[in-house]
Amino acid sequence: MTDLSHPTLPGALPDKRQVAASFSRAAASYDSVAALQRAVGVALLDQIEHADAPARWLDLGSGTGYFSRLLGERFAGAEGVAVDIAEGMLRHARQAGGARHHVAGDAERLPLRDGCVDLLFSSLAVQWCERFASVLSEARRVLRPGGVMAFSSLCVGTLGELRASWQAVDGLVHVNRFRRFEEYQRLCAGSGLEVVDLERRPHVLHYPDVRSLTRELKALGAHNLNPGRPSGLTGRARLQQLLQAYEQFRQPQGLPATYQVVYGVLRKPMSEGR
């Protein structure tokens, strides 16, 4: 994930092949630990409650296909397309149904023709894309005039407790980087799509201990993939320091992990025949 507040960080972005491999490996474990992803995707679906029924919808970064299934139920009769960069996720999603087509592809270069999508839904996927501007430009290209894009993503502040705890231990990059919310605002405003709604809402999860959190991130395929991340095993002493540092955040419910979630609804202007 990319914190574009440092746009010139060379080589500081996760490699797409690594992202795809990590999510493919996580396909079997993902659904059992995806509570936040479920809550966010459902909240995003609520935001398009009153959207016109699409003839064709796209679930971009569809993962195991949980939301493809919900979209398929909500828009019975419409043609659903699921796109993901991870073949392992697509294999999993294909078995579960929901979308009619399952296509391997990159959100920054969609393997779809111009103007063929009425509704583009994308939950918690585009934070993995280096160039969000390209994602928006591709969305604008594949949407038909009047078509809607609803996306959720993560921004700076996400996993801030874990980042700060590691910072206290060794100052290294142990947590994925995220774009600033202001960057989402700027890029959406300049996308040529009409911004219907763009907001940031925190979701806080609680864990009994740090290991439960890091185990979950790994099972999701969302553990730290940044180049420059510390390699190898974490020594016992450093781990102990991390656990101690994280304790300062403890609340009665447990150790908090904050996710700063961006929700956006954009529409392609009717006047655009592209």
Ligand X SMILES: C[S@@+](CC[C@H](N)C(=O)[O-])C[C@H]1O[C@@H](n2cnc3c(N)ncnc32)[C@H](O)[C@@H]1O
Q: Which residues bind ligand X (CB under 6 A)?
A: 19-20, 23, 34, 37, 41, 61-63, 66-67, 83-86, 89, 106-108, 123-125, 128-129, 222
Q: Report the nearest approach of ligand X to the CB of residue 190 (Å).
A: 20
Q: Report the nearest approach of ligand X to the CB of residue 255 (Å).
A: 21
Q: Residue 137: how many CA atoms within 13 Å on its side-chain side? A: 8
The helices-and-strands tally (H runs, E runs) of the chain is 9, 7
For residues 81 and 19, the answer to whether their CB atoms sit within 8 Å is no
Q: Report the nearest approach of ligand X to the CB of residue 84 (Å).
A: 5
Report d(CA 82, CA 102) in Å as an integer: 5
At which residue do the structure tokens 């459902």 appear? 42
Pairing assessment for the beta strands 79-84 and 56-60 based on DSSP bridges = parallel
Q: Report the nearest approach of ligand X to the CB of residue 171 (Å).
A: 27
Phi, psi of 174 (to 5 degrees): -110, -5
- Shortest CA distance to 69 belongs to which of 31, 107, 36? 31
Q: Report the nearest approach of ligand X to the CB of residue 271 (Å).
A: 29
Q: Which helix (H) or strand (E) holds 120?
A: strand 117-123
For residues 61 and 83, the answer to whether their CB atoms sit within 8 Å is yes
Q: CB-wise, 20 or 245, nearer to ligand X?
A: 20
Residue nearest to ligand X (CB): 63
Report d(CA 64, CA 71) in Å as an integer: 13
Q: Report the nearest approach of ligand X to the CB of residue 215 (Å).
A: 16
Q: CB-wise, 41 or 160, nearer to ligand X?
A: 41
